[in-house]
A and B are shown apart, each in its own frame.
Chain A
Amino acid sequence: MTALADPMGFLLFTKGPLFNIAIAIFALGLAARLAEILLLGRRPNFAEPRAGEWLPGLRTVVTRTLPDPGTFKRAPFNVLTGLIWHLGFLVALLLFIPHIELIKGLFGISWPGLPNPFVDLVTAVTLVALAATLVHRLTHPVKQRLSTIEDYLVWAVTFLVVLTGYLAYNRLINPYPLALGLHILTAELFLIILPFTKLTHIFTAFIARWYNGASFGRRGVQS
């Protein structure tokens, strides 16, 4: 029985050597990106601060995360589908019990999960919302011109991770080791491209929002 030639071999390959490679690239790449951003820092500001940085920074993290009425009125579709699939993705990623077990197995920390059928429903909604974003991107004249290959690559990998997870949970691909192997494989692709594409925003978005708020706060500007 040679590895990879069969579904179980494939699953064990994705769970073993390939996972090690993917997580190493991810950890190395992400740490490099973050270290670069944080070490480069910002130009020192010698002006007298007019107010604190921390509170406005944190407030902006919240306010920029929640859609504001103006943006919503201008682009309701973007805001709504964007919010739906991001939330759905996070619920499926962080509150599905097998994922919690994975994190627990790696880092020893865990938290309560949600019942599987609920996560299943959320995943289905996420898939629909993700598909809608692609249709919108392909049909909207401005988005169409703005989109690069990277945008489509990131969309495809994200969609495939969710799709294979959904198929595996509902056992729509047989045998199951193949389904689970495909899901793990796409998740590994996601991890590998994460530090080198716009997916890095998973880690930098909140830093950027905090920085904006902190900068405003320091200058005494409402954010």
Chain B
Amino acid sequence: MTAKKHSVGEHLRDQGVSRRAFLKFCTASASLLALSPGLIPALAAALEQARRPSVIWLSFQECTGCTESLTRSHAPTVEDLILEMISLDYHHTLQAAAGEAAEAAREQAMKDNFGQYLLIVDGSLPGPDANPGYSTIAGVSNYAMLMEAVEGAAAVIAVGTCAAFGGLPEAAPNPTGAVAVMDLIKDKPLVNVSGCPPVPMVITGVLAHYLAFGRLPELDEYHRPLAFFGQSIHDRCYRRPFYDKGLFAETFDDEGARAGWCLYRLGCKGPSTYNACATMRWNSGTSWPIEAGHPCLGCSEPRFWDAGSFYAPLSVPTGLSSNQVLTAGAAGVLVGGTVATLARRTVETAAVSRQPVTADELEQTL
């Protein structure tokens, strides 16, 4: 199952795909990559020359939601075309082979494409200092498998918030000592496609970009592709005009909620969340959480599980109760009372020990 060294253009012509169909595919890919439609001719030229890369997909401490997201990707034709253009040589959930045959396929692909293959990781993994027994595949610890696989990888794509930032396994108290892929891999090109799960088209979009341009896309400081994570949910939200007008839903069933007003007061994390949901949407472009009336959870951001209640507005501090404020206040009253008492006592002792002096006596001292 080695990668066929066909270019994408040849591959498509062999399959009888017309130029118009190819242009259409490029249009869909450009839309996916959030490229300006003016760049479609350049994309077409690049894709025409692209070669099919070998891909190894490792699944560690994950729930398979990311794979579900990808395989439910809208537009099966385009997704098929993109997946056609890569050679998915190992994915232990999707591949037919199991057990030793599967691991053999992985080792073969790694050997044949050393230095060339794309490594996709979903799920976090117990760090080098943690008990490796929390997650193993075929008796091999996640850490050992990742380190072995990364050696010959051209680039690493961490898919999902768990792989990108540690996600749920890493949430406090992090019993398995889970770490993110980027905590371990420092010397390879790495892209994080965060989200719980990520928008499926973003996963394919990164693959399309890699295919078209032979390198990973431009990244933000969290190593996320700027094309998809460059703007916040809030900035691209169709409910933004309501935020600007100060029109907010205050419960899930008030007039404001029915009228589709801003969900900030219901805990929407859109202002601090960077993702493509607002434009790419979910379920074949049908809708997305905010359009369905639910505030954004901020699932594509680091530590979103530990960022306080999903339903507390962004401005509300995490984990503070008014009791603490009252306790501190009571302590303050105590301190103030003590200071006042001490001050009063100083005045009283001064009054007791006061020695009246007359003007004549003062003059005598001169």
Contact = CB atoms under 8 A, between A and B. Distances in A.
Do A's and B's CB atoms come within 8 Å in the complex?
yes
Interface stretch (B74-82, B152-160, B311-319): B311-319
A98 B329 contact: no
Among B271, B312, B336, max chain A CB count under 10 A is at B336
A175 interface: yes
A108 B322 contact: yes
Contacts, number: 160
B328 A98 contact: no
Interface string A1-39: 101001111011001100110011111111111111101
Contacts of A107: 322, 325
B336 A27 contact: no
B89 interface: no
Interface in B299-353: 301-303, 306-308, 312-320, 322, 324-326, 328-337, 339-341, 343-344
Interface in A140-177: 171, 175-177
A12 B165 CA distance: 15
Given A1-B180, A99-B315, A106 B302 contact: no
B272 interface: yes
Interface in B215-244: 220-222, 232, 234-235, 243-244
Given A8-B302, A15-B308, A102-B316, A31 B166 contact: no
B245 A33 contact: no
B272 A11 contact: yes
Given A8-B302, A23-B324, A32-B333, A171 B235 contact: yes
B126 to A, nearest CB: 15
B245 A101 contact: no
Among A33, A98, A101, max chain B CB count under 10 A is at A101
A97 interface: yes
A69 interface: no
B332 A32 contact: yes
A98 B325 contact: no
B264 interface: yes
Nearest to A41: B340
Contacts of B143: none
B133 to A, nearest CB: 23
A223 interface: no
Nearest to A120: B244
A106 B329 contact: no
Contacts of B330: 31
B248 interface: yes
A28 B246 contact: no
Contacts of B332: 27-35
Given A32-B336, A39-B336, A116-B246, A15 B328 contact: no
Given A1-B165, A19-B320, A116-B243, A8 B303 contact: yes
A45 to B, nearest CB: 17
A117 B337 CA distance: 45
B84 interface: no
Contacts of B264: 97-98, 101
B317 A39 contact: no
B160 to A, nearest CB: 14
Contacts of A102: 313, 315-317
A128 to B, nearest CB: 22
A31 B331 CA distance: 8
B62 interface: no
Interface of B: 165-166, 170, 179-180, 183, 220-222, 232, 234-235, 243-246, 248, 264-265, 271-272, 274, 301-303, 306-308, 312-320, 322, 324-326, 328-337, 339-341, 343-344
29 contacts: A1-B170, A1-B303, A3-B303, A8-B272, A8-B302, A8-B307, A15-B317, A16-B317, A23-B320, A27-B332, A28-B329, A28-B331, A31-B328, A31-B330, A32-B332, A32-B336, A35-B334, A35-B339, A36-B343, A39-B340, A97-B248, A98-B264, A102-B315, A108-B322, A117-B246, A171-B232, A175-B274, A177-B301, A180-B314
